[in-house]
Structure 1
Protein backbone atom coordinates (compact mmCIF):
# COMPACT_ATOMS: atom_id res chain seq x y z
CA UNK A 1 0.00 0.00 0.00
CA UNK A 2 1.17 3.53 -0.78
CA UNK A 3 2.16 5.66 2.19
CA UNK A 4 -0.33 8.33 3.19
CA UNK A 5 0.62 11.79 1.94
CA UNK A 6 1.15 14.14 4.90
CA UNK A 7 -0.72 17.44 4.93
CA UNK A 8 1.10 20.58 3.88
CA UNK A 9 0.59 22.00 7.35
CA UNK A 10 -0.41 20.34 10.60
CA UNK A 11 -0.86 21.92 14.03
CA UNK A 12 -1.37 19.37 16.83
CA UNK A 13 -2.55 20.30 20.34
CA UNK A 14 -1.05 23.78 20.03
CA UNK A 15 -1.19 26.10 23.04
CA UNK A 16 0.13 29.66 23.14
CA UNK A 17 0.46 31.34 26.55
CA UNK A 18 1.85 34.85 26.98
CA UNK A 19 3.25 36.67 30.01
CA UNK A 20 1.87 40.18 30.65
CA UNK A 21 4.50 42.88 30.08
CA UNK A 22 3.49 44.96 33.09
CA UNK A 23 2.93 41.98 35.41
CA UNK A 24 5.13 38.89 34.87
CA UNK A 25 2.88 36.97 37.26
CA UNK A 26 -0.08 37.30 34.91
CA UNK A 27 -0.42 34.85 32.04
CA UNK A 28 -2.83 34.82 29.14
CA UNK A 29 -3.56 31.73 27.04
CA UNK A 30 -4.58 32.86 23.57
CA UNK A 31 -5.22 29.43 22.03
CA UNK A 32 -5.35 25.98 23.56
CA UNK A 33 -5.66 22.42 22.24
CA UNK A 34 -5.71 23.57 18.62
CA UNK A 35 -5.35 20.77 16.09
CA UNK A 36 -5.65 21.80 12.46
CA UNK A 37 -4.43 20.43 9.14
CA UNK A 38 -4.30 21.91 5.65
CA UNK A 39 -3.79 19.47 2.79
CA UNK A 40 -1.61 20.19 -0.23
CA UNK A 41 -3.74 22.21 -2.64
CA UNK A 42 -6.47 22.81 -0.04
CA UNK A 43 -7.96 26.24 0.77
CA UNK A 44 -8.89 26.43 4.46
CA UNK A 45 -10.32 29.48 6.22
CA UNK A 46 -10.43 30.14 9.96
CA UNK A 47 -13.19 32.35 11.38
CA UNK A 48 -14.03 33.41 14.90
CA UNK A 49 -14.72 36.36 17.20
CA UNK A 50 -12.29 39.24 17.57
CA UNK A 51 -9.45 38.24 19.87
CA UNK A 52 -9.86 34.49 19.41
CA UNK A 53 -6.24 33.93 18.39
CA UNK A 54 -6.62 33.53 14.63
CA UNK A 55 -3.54 35.61 13.86
CA UNK A 56 -1.64 33.81 16.64
CA UNK A 57 -2.22 30.52 14.81
CA UNK A 58 -1.00 32.04 11.56
CA UNK A 59 2.18 33.25 13.25
CA UNK A 60 2.72 29.75 14.65
CA UNK A 61 2.26 28.28 11.16
CA UNK A 62 4.77 30.79 9.77
CA UNK A 63 7.35 29.92 12.41
CA UNK A 64 7.27 33.49 13.75
CA UNK A 65 5.94 32.26 17.10
CA UNK A 66 6.89 29.08 18.93
CA UNK A 67 3.92 27.47 20.68
CA UNK A 68 4.07 26.96 24.43
CA UNK A 69 3.16 23.34 23.80
CA UNK A 70 2.08 21.18 20.89
CA UNK A 71 3.72 20.54 17.55
CA UNK A 72 3.80 22.00 14.03
CA UNK A 73 4.66 19.95 10.96
CA UNK A 74 5.24 21.06 7.38
CA UNK A 75 4.77 18.26 4.84
CA UNK A 76 5.38 15.75 7.62
CA UNK A 77 8.55 17.37 8.97
CA UNK A 78 8.74 19.19 12.34
CA UNK A 79 8.88 22.95 11.85
CA UNK A 80 12.09 24.42 13.20
CA UNK A 81 12.48 28.16 12.94
CA UNK A 82 10.87 30.05 10.07
CA UNK A 83 8.57 28.15 7.73
CA UNK A 84 10.55 28.61 4.53
CA UNK A 85 7.95 26.74 2.47
CA UNK A 86 5.33 29.37 3.30
CA UNK A 87 4.57 32.86 2.03
CA UNK A 88 2.82 35.30 4.38
CA UNK A 89 0.42 38.03 3.21
CA UNK A 90 -0.16 40.38 6.14
CA UNK A 91 -3.24 42.38 7.02
CA UNK A 92 -1.18 45.57 7.35
CA UNK A 93 0.88 47.19 4.62
CA UNK A 94 4.04 45.19 3.97
CA UNK A 95 5.47 47.18 1.04
CA UNK A 96 8.69 49.13 1.47
CA UNK A 97 7.76 52.76 0.73
CA UNK A 98 11.19 53.62 -0.70
CA UNK A 99 10.98 50.89 -3.35
CA UNK A 100 8.87 50.84 -6.48
CA UNK A 101 6.22 48.17 -7.00
CA UNK A 102 8.65 46.24 -9.20
CA UNK A 103 11.46 46.55 -6.66
CA UNK A 104 9.13 45.44 -3.86
CA UNK A 105 8.10 42.31 -5.76
CA UNK A 106 11.66 41.42 -6.75
CA UNK A 107 13.08 42.02 -3.25
CA UNK A 108 12.37 38.54 -1.90
CA UNK A 109 14.02 36.89 -4.89
CA UNK A 110 17.07 39.11 -4.53
CA UNK A 111 17.31 38.25 -0.82
CA UNK A 112 17.35 34.60 -1.87
CA UNK A 113 20.31 35.25 -4.17
CA UNK A 114 18.48 35.29 -7.51
CA UNK A 115 20.45 37.44 -10.00
CA UNK A 116 18.92 40.94 -10.35
CA UNK A 117 18.02 40.59 -14.02
CA UNK A 118 16.21 37.28 -13.44
CA UNK A 119 14.50 38.64 -10.31
CA UNK A 120 13.28 41.65 -12.27
CA UNK A 121 11.96 39.45 -15.09
CA UNK A 122 10.00 37.25 -12.68
CA UNK A 123 8.68 40.29 -10.79
CA UNK A 124 7.49 41.90 -14.02
CA UNK A 125 5.70 38.69 -14.98
CA UNK A 126 3.86 38.55 -11.65
CA UNK A 127 2.88 42.20 -11.79
CA UNK A 128 1.29 41.47 -15.16
CA UNK A 129 -0.53 38.46 -13.70
CA UNK A 130 -2.11 40.61 -10.99
CA UNK A 131 -3.07 43.33 -13.48
CA UNK A 132 -0.27 45.81 -12.74
CA UNK A 133 1.94 45.34 -15.77
CA UNK A 134 2.16 49.07 -16.44
CA UNK A 135 2.69 50.16 -12.83
CA UNK A 136 6.05 48.67 -11.90
CA UNK A 137 7.71 52.08 -11.60
CA UNK A 138 5.08 53.43 -9.19
CA UNK A 139 5.82 53.77 -5.49
CA UNK A 140 3.34 52.56 -2.83
CA UNK A 141 2.03 56.08 -2.14
CA UNK A 142 1.19 56.38 -5.86
CA UNK A 143 -0.96 53.24 -5.82
CA UNK A 144 -4.55 52.79 -4.66
CA UNK A 145 -5.35 50.45 -1.76
CA UNK A 146 -6.38 47.69 -4.16
CA UNK A 147 -3.23 48.13 -6.23
CA UNK A 148 -1.05 47.92 -3.13
CA UNK A 149 -2.81 44.68 -2.19
CA UNK A 150 -2.17 43.31 -5.68
CA UNK A 151 1.48 44.24 -5.33
CA UNK A 152 1.63 42.50 -1.93
CA UNK A 153 0.03 39.42 -3.48
CA UNK A 154 2.63 39.39 -6.28
CA UNK A 155 5.32 39.87 -3.62
CA UNK A 156 4.23 36.61 -1.95
CA UNK A 157 3.48 34.54 -5.06
CA UNK A 158 6.67 35.39 -6.94
CA UNK A 159 8.51 33.24 -4.37
CA UNK A 160 6.35 30.25 -5.39
CA UNK A 161 5.64 29.08 -1.80
CA UNK A 162 4.07 25.69 -1.22
CA UNK A 163 1.90 27.18 1.55
CA UNK A 164 0.24 30.60 1.49
CA UNK A 165 -0.72 32.22 4.81
CA UNK A 166 -3.15 35.15 4.55
CA UNK A 167 -4.17 37.31 7.51
CA UNK A 168 -7.35 39.24 6.63
CA UNK A 169 -5.60 40.60 3.53
CA UNK A 170 -8.62 42.41 2.07
CA UNK A 171 -10.36 43.74 5.19
CA UNK A 172 -9.43 47.39 4.53
CA UNK A 173 -10.74 47.43 0.94
CA UNK A 174 -14.10 48.64 -0.32
CA UNK A 175 -16.55 45.86 -1.20
CA UNK A 176 -16.10 46.09 -5.00
CA UNK A 177 -12.29 46.05 -4.84
CA UNK A 178 -12.44 43.32 -2.24
CA UNK A 179 -14.52 41.04 -4.47
CA UNK A 180 -12.16 41.66 -7.38
CA UNK A 181 -9.19 40.70 -5.21
CA UNK A 182 -10.97 37.61 -3.87
CA UNK A 183 -11.68 36.42 -7.41
CA UNK A 184 -8.09 37.11 -8.46
CA UNK A 185 -6.76 35.05 -5.56
CA UNK A 186 -9.11 32.20 -6.44
CA UNK A 187 -8.08 32.30 -10.10
CA UNK A 188 -4.39 32.21 -9.21
CA UNK A 189 -4.98 29.47 -6.63
CA UNK A 190 -6.89 27.43 -9.21
CA UNK A 191 -3.81 27.51 -11.46
CA UNK A 192 -1.22 26.62 -8.84
CA UNK A 193 -3.31 24.77 -6.19
CA UNK A 194 -1.11 25.75 -3.27
CA UNK A 195 -2.13 25.04 0.32
CA UNK A 196 -3.81 28.16 1.74
CA UNK A 197 -4.57 29.02 5.37
CA UNK A 198 -6.80 32.10 5.25
CA UNK A 199 -7.79 34.17 8.29
CA UNK A 200 -10.89 36.34 8.04
CA UNK A 201 -13.66 37.92 10.11
CA UNK A 202 -15.99 37.75 7.10
CA UNK A 203 -17.98 34.50 7.07
CA UNK A 204 -19.27 35.15 3.53
CA UNK A 205 -15.69 35.54 2.32
CA UNK A 206 -14.60 32.37 4.08
CA UNK A 207 -17.35 30.26 2.50
CA UNK A 208 -17.01 31.78 -0.97
CA UNK A 209 -13.29 31.06 -1.17
CA UNK A 210 -12.68 27.89 0.81
CA UNK A 211 -12.80 24.12 0.64
CA UNK A 212 -13.22 24.03 4.40
CA UNK A 213 -14.07 26.51 7.17
CA UNK A 214 -12.84 26.10 10.76
CA UNK A 215 -14.68 27.97 13.53
CA UNK A 216 -12.80 29.13 16.64
CA UNK A 217 -14.36 29.75 20.05
CA UNK A 218 -14.16 33.07 21.85
CA UNK A 219 -10.97 33.60 23.84
CA UNK A 220 -9.17 33.22 26.08
CA UNK A 221 -7.92 29.67 25.44
CA UNK A 222 -9.69 29.66 22.10
CA UNK A 223 -9.99 26.33 20.29
CA UNK A 224 -11.70 24.91 17.19
CA UNK A 225 -15.37 24.17 17.86
CA UNK A 226 -16.60 23.40 14.35
CA UNK A 227 -15.35 22.36 10.93
CA UNK A 228 -17.45 22.63 7.77
CA UNK A 229 -16.77 21.32 4.27
CA UNK A 230 -17.71 23.75 1.49
CA UNK A 231 -18.95 21.65 -1.41
CA UNK A 232 -19.72 24.51 -3.81
CA UNK A 233 -18.60 23.89 -7.38
CA UNK A 234 -15.40 25.50 -8.64
CA UNK A 235 -14.43 27.78 -10.29
CA UNK A 236 -16.42 30.31 -8.27
CA UNK A 237 -17.34 33.96 -8.57
CA UNK A 238 -17.48 35.24 -5.00
CA UNK A 239 -20.37 37.61 -5.71
CA UNK A 240 -22.50 35.16 -7.66
CA UNK A 241 -21.99 32.16 -5.39
CA UNK A 242 -23.38 34.01 -2.36
CA UNK A 243 -26.91 33.96 -3.79
CA UNK A 244 -27.03 30.19 -4.31
CA UNK A 245 -29.22 28.03 -2.03
CA UNK A 246 -26.28 25.81 -1.01
CA UNK A 247 -24.20 28.84 0.03
CA UNK A 248 -27.03 30.08 2.21
CA UNK A 249 -27.44 26.61 3.73
CA UNK A 250 -23.73 26.40 4.62
CA UNK A 251 -23.77 29.96 5.97
CA UNK A 252 -26.71 29.19 8.25
CA UNK A 253 -25.03 26.03 9.56
CA UNK A 254 -21.77 27.83 10.39
CA UNK A 255 -23.49 30.89 11.86
CA UNK A 256 -25.49 28.64 14.20
CA UNK A 257 -22.15 27.65 15.77
CA UNK A 258 -20.39 31.00 15.44
CA UNK A 259 -23.16 33.33 16.65
CA UNK A 260 -22.91 32.54 20.38
CA UNK A 261 -19.11 32.85 20.28
CA UNK A 262 -19.31 36.26 18.61
CA UNK A 263 -21.74 37.46 21.29
CA UNK A 264 -19.52 36.03 24.01
CA UNK A 265 -16.48 37.80 22.56
CA UNK A 266 -18.41 41.05 22.32
CA UNK A 267 -19.47 40.86 25.97
CA UNK A 268 -15.88 40.19 27.02
CA UNK A 269 -14.69 43.27 25.11
CA UNK A 270 -17.31 45.40 26.86
CA UNK A 271 -16.18 44.10 30.25
CA UNK A 272 -12.55 44.90 29.43
CA UNK A 273 -13.48 48.45 28.41
CA UNK A 274 -15.43 48.90 31.62
CA UNK A 275 -12.63 47.51 33.80
Structure 2
Protein backbone atom coordinates (compact mmCIF):
# COMPACT_ATOMS: atom_id res chain seq x y z
CA UNK A 1 0.00 0.00 0.00
CA UNK A 2 1.13 3.56 -0.72
CA UNK A 3 2.18 5.55 2.35
CA UNK A 4 -0.50 8.15 3.19
CA UNK A 5 0.38 11.79 2.72
CA UNK A 6 -1.28 12.59 6.07
CA UNK A 7 -1.89 10.13 8.84
CA UNK A 8 -3.51 11.19 12.11
CA UNK A 9 -3.66 8.41 14.71
CA UNK A 10 -5.84 8.66 17.85
CA UNK A 11 -5.53 12.45 18.00
CA UNK A 12 -6.85 14.44 20.96
CA UNK A 13 -6.54 18.19 21.54
CA UNK A 14 -7.35 19.61 24.97
CA UNK A 15 -7.11 23.31 25.75
CA UNK A 16 -6.72 24.95 29.16
CA UNK A 17 -8.58 28.19 29.80
CA UNK A 18 -6.30 31.21 30.32
CA UNK A 19 -8.91 32.90 32.51
CA UNK A 20 -9.68 29.80 34.58
CA UNK A 21 -6.64 27.48 34.60
CA UNK A 22 -8.64 24.64 36.12
CA UNK A 23 -11.05 24.53 33.19
CA UNK A 24 -10.24 22.29 30.23
CA UNK A 25 -11.93 21.88 26.89
CA UNK A 26 -11.33 18.88 24.64
CA UNK A 27 -11.98 19.93 21.06
CA UNK A 28 -11.31 16.56 19.38
CA UNK A 29 -10.67 13.08 20.73
CA UNK A 30 -9.97 9.64 19.26
CA UNK A 31 -9.54 11.05 15.76
CA UNK A 32 -7.86 8.79 13.22
CA UNK A 33 -7.78 10.11 9.67
CA UNK A 34 -5.68 9.54 6.55
CA UNK A 35 -5.30 11.40 3.27
CA UNK A 36 -3.65 9.43 0.50
CA UNK A 37 -1.10 10.88 -1.89
CA UNK A 38 -3.11 12.60 -4.62
CA UNK A 39 -6.40 12.21 -2.71
CA UNK A 40 -8.92 15.02 -2.11
CA UNK A 41 -10.54 14.57 1.32
CA UNK A 42 -13.11 16.93 2.85
CA UNK A 43 -14.08 17.13 6.52
CA UNK A 44 -17.57 18.38 7.38
CA UNK A 45 -19.32 18.84 10.69
CA UNK A 46 -21.20 21.29 12.91
CA UNK A 47 -19.75 24.64 13.91
CA UNK A 48 -17.23 24.15 16.71
CA UNK A 49 -16.56 20.48 16.02
CA UNK A 50 -12.79 20.89 15.71
CA UNK A 51 -12.38 20.77 11.93
CA UNK A 52 -9.90 23.65 11.87
CA UNK A 53 -8.13 22.17 14.90
CA UNK A 54 -7.39 19.03 12.89
CA UNK A 55 -6.11 21.11 9.99
CA UNK A 56 -3.77 22.99 12.33
CA UNK A 57 -2.50 19.67 13.68
CA UNK A 58 -1.78 18.47 10.13
CA UNK A 59 0.00 21.77 9.41
CA UNK A 60 2.19 21.44 12.50
CA UNK A 61 0.77 24.69 13.89
CA UNK A 62 -0.72 22.82 16.86
CA UNK A 63 0.78 19.86 18.73
CA UNK A 64 -1.90 17.34 19.75
CA UNK A 65 -2.39 16.50 23.42
CA UNK A 66 -2.34 12.84 22.47
CA UNK A 67 -1.76 10.81 19.35
CA UNK A 68 0.68 10.80 16.48
CA UNK A 69 0.93 12.67 13.19
CA UNK A 70 2.84 11.24 10.24
CA UNK A 71 3.52 12.97 6.95
CA UNK A 72 4.41 10.52 4.16
CA UNK A 73 5.28 8.01 6.89
CA UNK A 74 7.54 10.32 8.91
CA UNK A 75 6.59 11.69 12.36
CA UNK A 76 5.73 15.38 12.19
CA UNK A 77 7.88 17.58 14.41
CA UNK A 78 7.34 21.32 14.10
CA UNK A 79 5.83 22.88 10.99
CA UNK A 80 4.79 20.66 8.10
CA UNK A 81 7.29 21.77 5.45
CA UNK A 82 5.58 19.64 2.78
CA UNK A 83 2.24 21.44 3.11
CA UNK A 84 0.78 24.70 1.83
CA UNK A 85 -2.01 26.29 3.88
CA UNK A 86 -4.87 28.36 2.42
CA UNK A 87 -6.70 30.13 5.23
CA UNK A 88 -10.30 31.24 5.51
CA UNK A 89 -9.18 34.76 6.42
CA UNK A 90 -7.29 37.05 4.06
CA UNK A 91 -3.63 36.03 3.87
CA UNK A 92 -2.30 38.60 1.40
CA UNK A 93 0.08 41.28 2.62
CA UNK A 94 -1.62 44.62 1.92
CA UNK A 95 1.64 46.45 1.16
CA UNK A 96 2.56 43.99 -1.62
CA UNK A 97 1.05 43.70 -5.08
CA UNK A 98 -0.50 40.44 -6.26
CA UNK A 99 2.81 39.60 -7.91
CA UNK A 100 4.75 40.55 -4.79
CA UNK A 101 2.52 38.37 -2.61
CA UNK A 102 2.93 35.33 -4.86
CA UNK A 103 6.70 35.90 -5.02
CA UNK A 104 7.05 36.24 -1.25
CA UNK A 105 7.30 32.56 -0.31
CA UNK A 106 9.86 31.88 -3.03
CA UNK A 107 11.94 34.86 -1.89
CA UNK A 108 11.80 33.68 1.72
CA UNK A 109 13.19 30.34 0.50
CA UNK A 110 16.14 32.15 -1.07
CA UNK A 111 15.17 31.89 -4.73
CA UNK A 112 16.83 34.56 -6.92
CA UNK A 113 14.40 37.46 -7.58
CA UNK A 114 14.28 37.00 -11.37
CA UNK A 115 13.38 33.30 -11.04
CA UNK A 116 10.85 34.01 -8.29
CA UNK A 117 9.22 36.67 -10.45
CA UNK A 118 8.98 34.36 -13.46
CA UNK A 119 7.36 31.57 -11.44
CA UNK A 120 4.96 33.99 -9.73
CA UNK A 121 3.91 35.47 -13.07
CA UNK A 122 3.27 31.98 -14.44
CA UNK A 123 1.03 31.08 -11.50
CA UNK A 124 -0.87 34.36 -11.73
CA UNK A 125 -1.59 33.45 -15.35
CA UNK A 126 -2.74 29.97 -14.32
CA UNK A 127 -5.31 31.41 -11.90
CA UNK A 128 -6.51 34.05 -14.36
CA UNK A 129 -4.68 37.05 -12.92
CA UNK A 130 -1.95 37.45 -15.51
CA UNK A 131 -2.96 41.05 -16.22
CA UNK A 132 -3.42 42.03 -12.56
CA UNK A 133 0.00 41.40 -11.01
CA UNK A 134 0.49 45.10 -10.25
CA UNK A 135 -2.70 45.42 -8.21
CA UNK A 136 -2.70 45.67 -4.43
CA UNK A 137 -5.19 43.60 -2.41
CA UNK A 138 -7.50 46.59 -1.79
CA UNK A 139 -7.73 47.05 -5.57
CA UNK A 140 -8.94 43.48 -6.15
CA UNK A 141 -12.34 41.84 -5.73
CA UNK A 142 -12.85 39.06 -3.19
CA UNK A 143 -12.58 36.43 -5.93
CA UNK A 144 -9.38 37.96 -7.26
CA UNK A 145 -7.84 37.98 -3.79
CA UNK A 146 -8.72 34.30 -3.38
CA UNK A 147 -7.10 33.54 -6.74
CA UNK A 148 -3.97 35.38 -5.64
CA UNK A 149 -3.98 33.45 -2.34
CA UNK A 150 -4.30 30.19 -4.27
CA UNK A 151 -1.35 31.12 -6.49
CA UNK A 152 0.58 32.09 -3.35
CA UNK A 153 0.17 28.52 -2.05
CA UNK A 154 0.60 26.60 -5.29
CA UNK A 155 3.70 28.44 -6.50
CA UNK A 156 5.60 26.70 -3.68
CA UNK A 157 4.62 23.32 -5.20
CA UNK A 158 3.66 21.69 -1.87
CA UNK A 159 2.99 17.96 -1.74
CA UNK A 160 -0.02 18.61 0.53
CA UNK A 161 -2.58 21.42 0.33
CA UNK A 162 -4.52 22.31 3.49
CA UNK A 163 -7.61 24.46 2.91
CA UNK A 164 -9.74 25.93 5.71
CA UNK A 165 -13.10 27.07 4.27
CA UNK A 166 -11.26 29.20 1.71
CA UNK A 167 -14.34 30.22 -0.30
CA UNK A 168 -16.95 30.75 2.44
CA UNK A 169 -16.96 34.56 2.12
CA UNK A 170 -17.53 34.58 -1.66
CA UNK A 171 -20.82 34.95 -3.50
CA UNK A 172 -22.19 31.72 -4.94
CA UNK A 173 -21.17 32.40 -8.56
CA UNK A 174 -17.60 33.36 -7.66
CA UNK A 175 -17.42 30.46 -5.26
CA UNK A 176 -18.35 27.95 -7.96
CA UNK A 177 -15.78 29.44 -10.32
CA UNK A 178 -13.08 29.12 -7.65
CA UNK A 179 -14.12 25.55 -6.81
CA UNK A 180 -13.81 24.55 -10.45
CA UNK A 181 -10.48 26.38 -10.66
CA UNK A 182 -9.14 24.40 -7.70
CA UNK A 183 -10.39 21.12 -9.17
CA UNK A 184 -8.74 21.82 -12.51
CA UNK A 185 -5.41 22.68 -10.87
CA UNK A 186 -5.68 19.66 -8.56
CA UNK A 187 -6.49 17.37 -11.49
CA UNK A 188 -3.30 18.51 -13.24
CA UNK A 189 -0.97 18.06 -10.24
CA UNK A 190 -2.81 15.53 -8.03
CA UNK A 191 -1.57 16.84 -4.71
CA UNK A 192 -2.99 15.52 -1.46
CA UNK A 193 -5.74 17.88 -0.27
CA UNK A 194 -7.36 18.14 3.17
CA UNK A 195 -10.32 20.48 2.77
CA UNK A 196 -12.41 21.89 5.64
CA UNK A 197 -15.90 23.12 4.83
CA UNK A 198 -19.35 23.68 6.35
CA UNK A 199 -20.90 23.23 2.91
CA UNK A 200 -21.92 19.64 2.26
CA UNK A 201 -22.63 20.35 -1.43
CA UNK A 202 -19.09 21.71 -1.83
CA UNK A 203 -17.58 18.71 -0.05
CA UNK A 204 -19.36 16.16 -2.25
CA UNK A 205 -18.77 18.03 -5.50
CA UNK A 206 -15.03 18.36 -4.96
CA UNK A 207 -13.88 15.32 -3.02
CA UNK A 208 -12.82 11.72 -3.36
CA UNK A 209 -13.90 11.11 0.23
CA UNK A 210 -15.98 12.98 2.83
CA UNK A 211 -15.42 12.54 6.58
CA UNK A 212 -18.21 13.58 8.96
CA UNK A 213 -17.34 14.85 12.46
CA UNK A 214 -19.62 14.68 15.49
CA UNK A 215 -20.71 17.74 17.45
CA UNK A 216 -18.25 18.93 20.10
CA UNK A 217 -16.84 18.77 22.64
CA UNK A 218 -14.56 15.76 22.10
CA UNK A 219 -15.53 15.59 18.42
CA UNK A 220 -14.63 12.45 16.48
CA UNK A 221 -15.27 11.01 13.02
CA UNK A 222 -18.66 9.30 12.84
CA UNK A 223 -18.95 8.64 9.13
CA UNK A 224 -16.83 8.30 6.01
CA UNK A 225 -18.17 8.28 2.46
CA UNK A 226 -16.41 7.51 -0.82
CA UNK A 227 -17.51 9.93 -3.54
CA UNK A 228 -17.67 7.75 -6.64
CA UNK A 229 -18.82 10.45 -9.06
CA UNK A 230 -16.67 10.41 -12.23
CA UNK A 231 -14.11 13.15 -12.83
CA UNK A 232 -13.60 15.71 -14.21
CA UNK A 233 -16.52 17.46 -12.52
CA UNK A 234 -18.26 20.80 -12.82
CA UNK A 235 -19.43 21.72 -9.31
CA UNK A 236 -22.69 23.27 -10.53
CA UNK A 237 -23.63 20.51 -12.97
CA UNK A 238 -22.68 17.58 -10.75
CA UNK A 239 -25.19 18.68 -8.09
CA UNK A 240 -28.06 17.80 -10.43
CA UNK A 241 -27.00 14.18 -10.96
CA UNK A 242 -28.85 11.28 -9.28
CA UNK A 243 -25.66 9.96 -7.67
CA UNK A 244 -24.91 13.32 -6.08
CA UNK A 245 -28.42 13.51 -4.64
CA UNK A 246 -28.16 9.98 -3.25
CA UNK A 247 -24.79 10.70 -1.62
CA UNK A 248 -26.09 13.98 -0.22
CA UNK A 249 -29.07 12.23 1.37
CA UNK A 250 -26.84 9.53 2.90
CA UNK A 251 -24.31 11.97 4.35
CA UNK A 252 -26.94 14.41 5.57
CA UNK A 253 -28.64 11.51 7.32
CA UNK A 254 -25.51 11.18 9.49
CA UNK A 255 -24.73 14.90 9.74
CA UNK A 256 -28.19 16.32 10.48
CA UNK A 257 -28.43 15.18 14.10
CA UNK A 258 -24.93 16.47 14.85
CA UNK A 259 -25.75 19.88 13.35
CA UNK A 260 -28.84 20.07 15.59
CA UNK A 261 -26.73 19.12 18.63
CA UNK A 262 -24.20 21.80 17.78
CA UNK A 263 -26.96 24.40 17.36
CA UNK A 264 -28.48 23.53 20.73
CA UNK A 265 -25.06 23.85 22.38
CA UNK A 266 -24.60 27.30 20.87
CA UNK A 267 -28.01 28.36 22.21
CA UNK A 268 -27.10 27.16 25.71
CA UNK A 269 -23.79 29.04 25.66
CA UNK A 270 -25.54 32.21 24.50
CA UNK A 271 -28.22 31.99 27.22
SS at match of 2:84: strand
SS at match of 1:113: coil
How big is each residue's C-alpha offset from its partner over 1:189-219, in whole Å with a ceiling of 9 and x where there is no partner? 0000000000000000000000000000000
Q: Distance in 2 between matches of 1:193 and 1:200?
A: 20
Aligned runs of 1:3-42 on 2, under 5 Å?
Answer: 4-42=1-39
Q: Distance in 2 between matches of 1:5 and 1:267?
A: 42
Partner of 1:264: 261
User: Are 1:113 and 2:110 an aligned pair?
Assistant: yes
Match of 1:130 among 127, 137, 141: 127
User: Are 1:172 and 2:153 an aligned pair?
Assistant: no
RMSD (Å), alpha carbons: 0.3
Give 1:21 shift.
1.2
User: Are 1:75 and 2:54 an aligned pair?
Assistant: no
Q: Distance in 2 between matches of 1:69 and 1:110?
A: 36
Partner of 1:143: 140
- Counting matched residue pairs gives 271
Match of 2:191 among 159, 176, 194: 194
Q: Distance in 1 between matches of 2:114 and 2:22?
A: 54
Q: Distance in 2 between matches of 1:114 and 1:74?
A: 25
Gaps of 5+ in 2: none
What TM-score comes out, normalization by structure 2 length? 1.00
Q: Distance in 2 between matches of 1:254 and 1:115?
A: 48
Q: Distance in 1 between matches of 2:179 and 2:198?
A: 14
Runs of 4+ deviating beyond 4 Å: none
Q: Distance in 2 between matches of 1:263 and 1:207?
A: 21
SS at match of 1:35: strand
Q: Distance in 1 between matches of 2:155 and 2:221?
A: 32
Gaps of 5+ in 1: none
Q: Distance in 2 between matches of 1:34 and 1:115?
A: 42
Aligned runs of 1:156-171 on 2, under 5 Å?
Answer: 156-171=153-168
